[in-house]
Amino acid sequence: MTGRMINSMNTPLPVVLAGARGHGRWHVENIRRLQQQGLVRLAGVCELTPLTGAELDGLGTPEQSAAFGALLDSTGARIAVICTPIPTHTDLALTAAERGVHLLLEKPPAPSYAEFRRMADGVAAAGVVCQIGFQSLGSHALPAIRALIAEGAIGRLAGIGGAGAWVRDEDYFRRAPWAGKRRMDGVDVIDGALTNPLAHAVATALALGGSTRAEDVTGIETELLRANAIESDDTSCVRIGTLQGHPVTVAATLCAERADEPYVLVHGSTGRITFWYKQDRVLLQRAGHGPEEFEHGRTDLLENLVAHLTTGADLLVPPDETGAFMKVVEAIRTAPDPAPLPDTAWHRIPGENRRVVPGIDGLVAAAADTLALYSELGAPWALTAEHLSKEVSTR
């Protein structure tokens, strides 16, 4: 295993959480759950504004400081959970690694492939363990679907689609100074639909086809657009060529008419598998059989990291298993800036303060269903922006 195993008698393992508000609140709740089980202990919280007693209810009195490195030193942390703005991930991860502290690093792990490599190589050199926070990759549905593919349940694997149709109001893009930005103060952020809120659709689609490592990606096409007054994309699609020989096409929008559960669709020559990854729910449809539906459990990634350190359990999402996803982030980073959709392509919903692209829900589903890009599906606003679709060779 990677890193030094910690004697299981040392649990609960002391944890420092960097970034405890926004999405970080989910980590506070998860740490509370694992602390009640005796697996971890919240030893420190790194936040600009300390958490209140109410926010820390049931978690004792962890040390609080805005100085991450000093907090790791003073608490004797064995694990750091990093849920901070994307551009800070690499430096904070290396701050922990140089102190021998193991990591759960939120997705996306970095805003560029160079920053990702700096993080991953630094962590490896320090001999610590890093888990990347793609929670969907802890689903027990993944090995079950891979087994179905391997046994030929849907024939020959032809391709994988992903669909994410979400609703976000305009305030969502003002939730933090970096929200909706591609760059800020000269530093990459890349907070787009496919790289952050719906990043799981991309990572899960790649994982189901066994194309998780950087070298598994042979080429990438992107179409990046925006209805909102932001820098980054809120309506986009990507098609990834893979060494395994099947395309992976993922379409996403934050401007849906109606919010829907995101899913990944595995296409075979004699059937298909639909995986609603937030629900761990699987639908198998194949020739000669009625549809079969399955529900699976999920292993929490912090819990898995603790098990890896104390019992030698396999780590579910080490950095190299997100290399292919980071190639997609890099292609989006280096693509032309997202094109604004024409005013005729979107409208506001009265009273909801959000922008909607009529017909986008169907286009997202069609992209996953046909493995085609928006421009190939006849979206008039995509066809007027052909420069958005470009092939990026990664070989």
Architecture in CATH for domain 140-296+319-393: 2-Layer Sandwich (3.30)
pLDDT higher than 60, residue 335 = yes
Contacts of 49 (CB under 8 A, 6+ apart): none
Instruction: Give pLDDT, residue 364.
Output: 98
Instruction: Give pLDDT, residue 350.
Output: 86
Q: Does the predicted model carry a pTM greater than 0.75?
A: yes
Reported as type and span, the H/E element at residue 226 is strand 217-226
In tens, the pLDDT along 104-114 reads 999 999 999 99
* C-alpha–C-alpha distance, residues 294 and 162, integer Å: 19
Half-sphere exposure of 382 (CA within 13 A, CB side): 24
In tens, the pLDDT along 4-62 reads 566 555 679 999 999 999 999 999 999 999 999 999 999 999 999 999 999 999 999 99
Instruction: Give pLDDT, residue 6.
Output: 61
**pLDDT average, residue stretch 347-369:** 96
pLDDT higher than 80, residue 219 = yes
In tens, the pLDDT along 125-139 reads 999 999 999 999 999
Instruction: Give pLDDT, residue 1.
Output: 43
Q: How many CB atoms lie within 10 A of CB 350?
A: 6
pLDDT higher than 60, residue 375 = yes
Instruction: Give pLDDT, residue 395.
Output: 58
Angle, helices 113-126 vs 323-334, to 10°: value is 150
Instruction: Give pLDDT, residue 384.
Output: 58
* C-alpha–C-alpha distance, residues 156 and 235, integer Å: 31
Tell me the residue type at 59: L
Residue 392 pLDDT class (50, 70, 90 cuts): low
Assign 247 to helix, strand or coil.
Answer: coil
310 Cα distance to chain centroid? 26
**pLDDT average, residue stretch 287-310:** 97
Residue 2 pLDDT class (50, 70, 90 cuts): very low
Q: How many CB atoms lie within 10 A of CB 275?
A: 28
User: How do the domains of the chain map onto residue ranges?
Assistant: 8-133, 140-296+319-393
Instruction: Give pLDDT, residue 5.
Output: 60
pLDDT higher than 60, residue 308 = yes
**pLDDT average, residue stretch 155-180:** 96
State which CATH number among 3.90.380.10, 3.40.50.720, 1.10.3720.10, 3.40.50.10860 fits the domain covering 8-133.
Answer: 3.40.50.720
* C-alpha–C-alpha distance, residues 371 and 328, integer Å: 16
Tell me the residue type at 146: R
In tens, the pLDDT along 64-76 reads 999 999 999 999 9
Tell me the residue type at 234: D
Instruction: Give pLDDT, residue 368.
Output: 98
